Amino acid sequence: MRAPYGLNILDNCLTCPVRGEHLFCNLSAQAGQRLNEIKSTAVYPKGAMLFIEGQQPRGVFVLCTGKAKLSTSSREGKTIITKISESGDVLGLNAVISNRPYEVTAEMMEPGQANFVPRDSLMHLLKEYPEVAVRIAQQLSRNYYTAYEEIRTLGLAASPSEKFAKLLLSWSTKSSGDDGSSQVKMTLTHEEIAEIIGTTRETVSRLFSEFKKKQLMQLKGATLVIRSRIALEKIVQS
Amino acid sequence: MRAPYGLNILDNCLTCPVRGEHLFCNLSAQAGQRLNEIKSTAVYPKGAMLFIEGQQPRGVFVLCTGKAKLSTSSREGKTIITKISESGDVLGLNAVISNRPYEVTAEMMEPGQANFVPRDSLMHLLKEYPEVAVRIAQQLSRNYYTAYEEIRTLGLAASPSEKFAKLLLSWSTKSSGDDGSSQVKMTLTHEEIAEIIGTTRETVSRLFSEFKKKQLMQLKGATLVIRSRIALEKIVQS
DNA sequence: AAGAACTGGTGATCCAGATCACGCATCGGT
DNA sequence: ACCGATGCGTGATCTGGATCACCAGTTCTT
């Protein structure tokens, strides 16, 4: 891997970027200090694999900048994307805690930086500092809820349209706030969207046309304009 | 609720029934002692709801005897069963730890007994005894893996046949050991199986006929005889 | 004992979405 | 400027499984 990729290396991106809601935020001075000693920072190019499904867990990654997609594949090559991770997310925690193989593959979707905490060190830390253990438990249960949402989507949603609407809504919530419409930068290909909602590329293509025609959304370059959240919610209705 | 249901109340079913692999097994004397003080035991009839999807988390339940089915429903009434819990399983842990509503409904499928640990007490316990926090983290990550398996099944499995075969295999592994065939007691209705693999009752019915015809399985009363795990695995292939 | 309320089997029909098969942009490298 | 890779849009076809509609056992009620 080549080095810079036009990024500055942040000296410590464990410090809480947003509102201190991350796994390793607001720890006691001691625990924070120890964490700083055991972590290491690296920069990854687009397409880099942080870890691959089935590998023994080496440690956890805390995303500082860039996005990563988490995916699983079946033997026949069908792939589902289970999550698009963003800055602040902790990757590989489940595998590390239960010492089972990584259950997903984590691939950088754009160049970015991440902290790495080796498994052994983390396990030590967590046995030494109860606060860390509690924090990790909470993070795990949050992960679980995300997974559960996924199960609900895959298991209960009837049609691709429904799942697509749900996806659009999940995007717009992040950057909403105003009247009824909101804007999101679209960075995913139709193929990838298909892998998220469990359908085919062609169907996603048709869904885009359909939703545009129905005035539910609109595309300005790479910017997705969501017209009416209410109408989308009516489609979801699950 | 009426009282006995023809069951004897076991005085303490937190002690490890199988090989001490449960959440609260092999704790230190102190932690175990405290746990015993805060837990309470109750007997439930068939059909009893331990908790319902959406309720605020009151605490966790540890199943002692009997089975419980965990399910979620969509607004339109479609239901999926995400897990059949058995003796030793801990229910409601995720909701309690993250203090979010129960994400599933837990219903007793047969009369049984369970220990209840109130949320506050558990949270105290876990902050007081690091070992408990670690244990809980591990349990949570195990839950996560189960959920992930579910996602894989729902998202990657192509056909109902595939999912059905997968389900049969998961049943037979529990009670296998011999050459190629194994026996399981069938306690689920076709309807319930349909809700597990995400299809309709009719399709399950047809799957049974189909698999019987293909000599993959056989039904002797309520006992399911699985003929050839290998053949089933070939159907699954994911 | 006579319903009522579940459960399970099986045909007939229908349609959403997977699959196949193109053509056309756009981008990135050499 | 060229060529290959990659991403997108759209028609034509095919099919697996949902849906509907019965009937027939079974087991709860009362």
pLDDT digits (tens, 9 = 90+) for B67-104: 999 999 998 889 999 999 998 899 999 999 999 999 99
CB contact under 8 A, B137 and A150: no
Which residue in the set B76, B141, B156 is minimally distant from A78, CB to CB?
B156
B205 beta carbon < 7 A from strand C?
yes
Mean pLDDT within B159-165: 95
pLDDT in tens, A44-62: 998 899 999 999 999 999 9
At A8, the pLDDT band (50, 70, 90 cuts) reads: very low
The mean of the pLDDT values for chain A is 86
Task: Please give the pLDDT value at position B183.
Answer: 85
Helix and strand numbers, DSSP H then E, in chain B: 8, 11
Contacts of A231 (CB under 8 A, 6+ apart): A214, A215, A216
Is residue B10's pLDDT more than 80?
no
Is residue B7's pLDDT more than 70?
no
Beta-sheet strands, E only, within A119-234 = 182-185, 217-220, 223-226
- The three-point CA angle B232-B235-B238 to 5° equals 110
Of residues B210 and B7, which shows the higher confidence score?
Answer: B210
Q: What positions of strand C are covered by protein, i.e. any atom < 7 Å from a CB?
A: 6-12, 16-21
Among A223-237, B65-79, B113-127, B159-173, the minimum mean pLDDT is found in: A223-237
Question: Edge-to-edge strand order for the sheet containing A59-65?
Answer: A40-44, A112-118, A59-65, A90-91
State the helix-helix crossing angle for A229-236 and A160-174, rounded to 10 degrees: 140
At B1, the pLDDT band (50, 70, 90 cuts) reads: very low
Which residue in the set A74, A156, A237 is minimally distant from B80, CB to CB?
A156
User: CA–CA separation, B60 vs B97, rounded Å?
Assistant: 10
pLDDT in tens, A111-131: 999 999 999 999 999 988 888
Of residues B230 and A136, which shows the higher confidence score?
Answer: A136
Is residue A18's pLDDT more than 50?
no
Sort out which chain B residues have CB atoms less than 8 A from A145's CB and list them: 94, 98, 100, 103
Q: What positions of strand D are covered by protein, i.e. any atom < 7 Å from a CB?
A: 6-12, 16-21
B173 beta carbon < 7 A from strand C?
no
Sort out which chain A residues have CB atoms less than 8 A from B141's CB and list them: 93-95, 97-98, 140
Chain B residues with CB within 8 Å of chain A CB: 72-76, 78, 80, 82, 93-95, 97-98, 100, 103-104, 126-127, 130, 133-134, 136-138, 140-145, 147-148, 150-152, 154-158, 198, 237-238
B206 beta carbon < 7 A from strand C?
yes
Which residue in the set A103, A104, A148 is minimally distant from B103, CB to CB?
A148
At A30, the pLDDT band (50, 70, 90 cuts) reads: confident
Is residue B31's pLDDT more than 80?
yes
Residue–nucleotide distance: B199 CA to D18 C1' (Å): 9
Residue–nucleotide distance: A191 CA to C23 C1' (Å): 19
A158 beta carbon < 7 A from strand C?
yes
Residue type at A138 in one-letter notation: Q
At B182, the pLDDT band (50, 70, 90 cuts) reads: confident
Task: Please give the pLDDT value at position A196.
Answer: 96
Is residue B2's pLDDT more than 50?
no
Is residue A2's pLDDT more than 50?
no
B164 beta carbon < 7 A from strand D?
no
What are B218's two structure tokens? 């056989």
Look up residue B9 and give its DSSP letter: P
A202 beta carbon < 7 A from strand C?
yes
Task: Please give the pLDDT value at position B91.
Answer: 96
Residues of chain A above pLDDT 70, percent: 87
- In three-state secondary structure terms, B161 is helix
User: CA–CA separation, B175 vs A95, rounded Å?
Assistant: 27
Sort out which chain A residues have CB atoms less than 8 A from B150's CB and list them: 151, 155
Is residue A198's pLDDT more than 70?
yes
- The protein residue nearest D20 (Cα–C1') is B202
Give the position of tokens 């058995």.
Answer: B86
Q: Nearest-CA distance from B116 to chain A in Å?
A: 19
pLDDT in tens, A83-116: 999 988 999 999 999 999 999 999 999 899 999 9
Residue–nucleotide distance: B158 CA to D26 C1' (Å): 35
At B140, the pLDDT band (50, 70, 90 cuts) reads: very high
User: CA–CA separation, A132 vs A34, rounded Å?
Assistant: 11
Task: Find the distance separating the first CA and the last CA of chain B, reported in whole Å.
Answer: 45
Is residue B192's pLDDT more than 80?
yes
What are A214's two structure tokens? 């129905």
Q: Enter the pTM of the model.
A: 0.86
* Residue of chain B whose alpha carbon sits nearest to that of A237: B75
Which residue in the set A137, A150, A237 is minimally distant from B140, CB to CB?
A137
